[in-house]
C-alpha cells in the first residue's frame, strides 16, 4: 500500500513519533545512505531522546519551579554558617529514594530557596514528579478548594517530591494548620518534603497561633529528616549596600 508523505506524517504523530514526523524529509533522504538496521536504530535513538526531552519539559512545567540560579553560582563564602558538604551531598543522591525530609532554616536572603529550587529541578531530571509551592500559595489554594479539597490533598500527598517554600513569613488560622497536617501526615514515611523557613522550630507557634496539631506536624516532619541551618546577613541586602556605595 502506497502512503503519501502527509499520511505517513499523520501516522507518525498518532504514534507520538513527533521528531520523525517533523523531520520526515530528512529521514527519507537518509534512507539511501543507511541500511534498514542502522536506520531503525537511528530512529529509535532519536525518538527516545526526543521523548525523554519532552517528558522533562512537561514535568518541569508541572513542577512550577520557576526561574532560578544554578548552584554553580551559589556564594558559599557569604553565610557565616553553612554545611557545604551536606548540601553538596544532596545533589549526589536521589532525595526521593532516601525517604527523608529536608528542612532548611535561615533568615531571608541566604539562598534557601535557591537550594530548594535546584534540588527540585534535579528530581525532575531524575524522572520524578515534583511540585514547588510557597506556603502562602499552598494554604490559599487548599482553603479555597471547596468541593475539590480532597483531590488537591491527594495531589499534594502523592507527588513524589513536594517543596514548600517560605514557611514562617505569614501567620495562618487553625484550619490552615489542619491542611498542612493532612498533607504531612499522608506523606509521612512515604514521600519526602523539602521545606524552607526563616524561623527556628521554637518560633513555629507564631506561624500557627494556638493550632492543636502543630506538635503533630513537627513530629512527623522531623522524624526522618535532615535539618540544615544557614546563618548570616541577607546576601541581597549586602549586595544592595555595595551598589549604593
The residue whose grid cell reads 482553603 is 143
pTM: 0.82
pLDDT beyond 80 at 3: no
Q: Which of 1-5, 38-42, 180-184 has the lowest mean pLDDT?
A: 1-5
The pLDDT confidence band at residue 88, using thresholds 50, 70 and 90, is very high
φ, ψ for residue 85, nearest 5 deg: -60, -40
Mean pLDDT of 104-125: 96
Q: How far is CA 148 from CA 141, 172, 177, 200, in A?
A: 10, 21, 18, 33
Name the helix (H) or strand (E) containing 179.
Answer: helix 174-187
Q: Which of 34-48, 77-91, 119-133 has the lowest mean pLDDT?
A: 34-48
Written as one string, the DSSP assignment of 57-97 is HHHHHHHT------GGG--TTSSSB--HHHHHHHTTS-HHH
Strand order in the sheet with 225-229: 130-134, 161-167, 193-197, 101-105, 225-229
| CATH number of the structural domain 64-244 | 3.40.50.300
The pLDDT confidence band at residue 2, using thresholds 50, 70 and 90, is very low
Gap between the Cα atoms of 162 and 131, Å rounded = 5
Listed by start position, the domains of the chain span 5-62, 64-244
Are 90 and 119 spatial neighbours (Cβ–Cβ below 8 Å)?
Answer: yes
Q: Mind listing the pLDDT tens digit for each residue in 14-54?
A: 667 788 788 877 877 776 655 655 665 566 677 778 888 88
Among 211, 191, 215, smallest CA distance to 202 is for 215
Amino acid at each position: 500500500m502506497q502512503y503519501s508523505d502527509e499520511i505517513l506524517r499523520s501516522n507518525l504523530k498518532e504514534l507520538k513519533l513527533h521528531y520523525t514526523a517533523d523531520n520526515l524529509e530528512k529521514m527519507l533522504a537518509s534512507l539511501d545512505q543507511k541500511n534498514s538496521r542502522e536506520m531503525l536504530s537511528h530512529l529509535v535513538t532519536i525518538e527516545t531522546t526526543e521523548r525523554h526531552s519532552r517528558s522533562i519539559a512537561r514535568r518541569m512545567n508541572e513542577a512550577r519551579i520557576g526561574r532560578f540560579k544554578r548552584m554553580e553560582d551559589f556564594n558559599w563564602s557569604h553565610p557565616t554558617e553553612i554545611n557545604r558538604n551536606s548540601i553538596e551531598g544532596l545533589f549526589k543522591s536521589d532525595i526521593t529514594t532516601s525517604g527523608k525530609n529536608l528542612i532548611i532554616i535561615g533568615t531571608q536572603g541566604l539562598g534557601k530557596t535557591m537550594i530548594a529550587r535546584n534540588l527540585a529541578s534535579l528530581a525532575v531530571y531524575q524522572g520524578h514528579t515534583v511540585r514547588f509551592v510557597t506556603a502562602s500559595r499552598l494554604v490559599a489554594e487548599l482553603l479555597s478548594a471547596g468541593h475539590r479539597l480532597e483531590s488537591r490533598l491527594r495531589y499534594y500527598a502523592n507527588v513524589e517530591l513536594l517543596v514548600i517554600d517560605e514557611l514562617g513569613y505569614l501567620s495562618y488560622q487553625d484550619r490552615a494548620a489542619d491542611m498542612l497536617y493532612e498533607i504531612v501526615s499522608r506523606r509521612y514515611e512515604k514521600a519526602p518534603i523539602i521545606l524552607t523557613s526563616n524561623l527556628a522550630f521554637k518560633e513555629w507557634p507564631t506561624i500557627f497561633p494556638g493550632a492543636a496539631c502543630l506538635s503533630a506536624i513537627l513530629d512527623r516532619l522531623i522524624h526522618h529528616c535532615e535539618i540544615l541551618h544557614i546563618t548570616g546577613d541577607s546576601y541581597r541586602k549586602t549586595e544592595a549596600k555595595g551598589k549604593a556605595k
